[in-house]
Amino acid sequence: MTIRAVIWNENVHEQENEIVAELYPAGIHGVIADALNATDGVSATTATLQEPEHGLSAARLAETDVLLWWGHAAHSDVSDAVAARVAEAVWSGMGFIALHSAHFSKPFKALMGTACNLTWREAGERERIWLTSRNHPIAAGLPDHFTLENEEMYGEPFGVPEPLETVFISWFQGGEVFRSGLTYKRGAGNLFYFRPGHETYPTYHDPNIQCVLRNAVLWAHNPARRIADVTDAPNVPIDAAPEPIEARGRRLHRDGEAGFR
Ligand code: ZN
């Protein structure tokens, strides 16, 4: 079975900033797609903000096993309808990997339900990334710690719910620390947040980072059939109750009414 990954990128800095364009001439999404396509059993394609429906039509999401998301300057340009569609796809079983500044993306915030805020500083600091869960599949093949020579600092407190598992913690040259690799389950979907990836540094060219992304796609893939109509909230008729019952008491709703939502 081939895992179908889609790397979504707002693709704004690559067009507007010459440092980013020089580091990522085919876009951040292009470098990540190349890394994932070098993985046995993974087929990666890309989608960007500028495409119709941001490249994420309902049909495309139905054929996406794992969606990776990179966004920063244009979070607010993502349509609410597409963001809701992504969250629903996750609830129904699609894997979702939020990269770096995607902590403030609409789909990630919807899936977390919290502020997702953090402290930050752009000073090219050294980042040392420590494994905190050695046997976790997302950490497979990695040393106990590895270093990125230049990264943006993200610091605690990180305003997200307590994760299922913390896979990485980062230390920064200036002294802050951050939970850099967090796993969640949302509905039937596996979700991973991975911190590194500031656009003015060559982070996504780093072999250890590419290793994490490959592992994360394999981990996030849920091979079960996607749950259909995941937001349905049916009104079950009295005569369809598993045990025989008679209606009692006074009622607000009429038989067969859809109810409020
Ligand atoms: Zn950044």
- Residue 162's Cβ-count burial label (10 Å; 0-12, 13-18, 19+) is exposed
Whether 137 is in a domain gets the answer no
All residues at 6 or more sequence positions from 51 whose CB lies less than 8 Å from its CB, including other chains? none
* Distance between Cα 126 and ligand 1 center (Å): 14
Does 130 fall in a domain? no
Give the total number of structural domains in the chain.
1
Give the distance (Å) from ligand 1 centre to CA of residue 198: 4
Look at residue 47 and tell me if it is in a domain. yes
Residue pLDDT, tens place only, 48-95: 999 999 999 999 999 999 999 999 999 999 999 999 999 999 999 999
| CA of 43 relative to ligand 1 center, distance in Å | 27
- Domain contains 45: yes
Ligand 1 geometric centre to CA of 252 (Å): 51
Q: 226 lies in a domain?
A: no
Q: Is residue 174 part of a domain?
A: no
Q: To 5 degrees, how large is the angle CA 67–CA 84–CA 60?
A: 45
Give the span between the Cα atoms of 94 and 88, in whole angstroms.
9
Cβ atoms of residues 90 and 111 within 8 Å: yes
- Coil/strand/helix, residue 138: helix
Compute the distance from residue 45 Cα to the ligand 1 centre, in Å.
Answer: 23
Whether residue 94 lies inside any domain: the answer is yes
Q: Could you give phi then psi for residue 194, rounded to 5 degrees? A: -130, 120
Mean pLDDT of the chain: 97
C-alpha 152 – ligand 1 centre gap (Å): 6
251 confidence band (pLDDT: 50, 70, 90): very high
pLDDT higher than 90, residue 1: no
Q: How much distance in Å is there from the Cα of 199 to the middle of ligand 1? A: 6
CATH of the domain at 96: 3.40.50.880
CA of 124 to the centre of ligand 1 (A): 11
The domain in which residue 75 lies consists of: 3-114+181-220
The pair of structure tokens assigned to 120 is 């930050």
Q: Is residue 105 a part of any domain in this protein?
A: yes
pLDDT digits 0-9 by tens, 140-177 = 999 999 999 999 999 999 999 999 999 999 999 999 99
Integer CA distances (angstroms), 135 to 100, 177, 183, in order: 23, 22, 14
CA of 177 relative to ligand 1 center, distance in Å = 16
CA of 155 to the centre of ligand 1 (A): 12
